[in-house]
Amino acid sequence: MKGMGNIGNIMKQAKKLQQELEKAQAEIAEMKVEASAGGGMVTAVVNGRGELLNMRIEHEVVDPDDVEMLVDLIVAAVQEAQKNAQEIAKEKLGPLTQGMNLPGMPGL
């Protein structure tokens, strides 16, 4: 049974890869990514999954007569933070997931 040793090695490699993926996913979930819009007037903080954790809005940008501008800045800051989080996740997971189709991780 020559082939049984190869299967054992493959299983060990698969287990190691799984552990590395789990570690990377945990690191991604814990990371905080920040982005701002309007020259820093609105700042969004998301986790590695792109979930909004916090937002800072400078008082000067709050104008009751121009709510649309504030909304645009909020959306821009959140989208940029989410985009940055996704790029960091791809960098961390990319080498481990080449050729895999993982749910919740578009483009990997």
How many helices (H) and strands (E) are present in the chain, helices listed first? 2, 3
Tell me, which fold does domain 3-97 have in CATH? Ybab; Chain: A; (3.30.1310)
Q: Where are the domains of the chain?
A: 3-97
38's tokens: 């309007």
Look up the pTM and report it. 0.71
How do residues 33-88 score in pLDDT, each as one tens digit?
Answer: 999 999 999 999 999 889 999 999 999 999 999 999 999 999 999 999 999 999 99
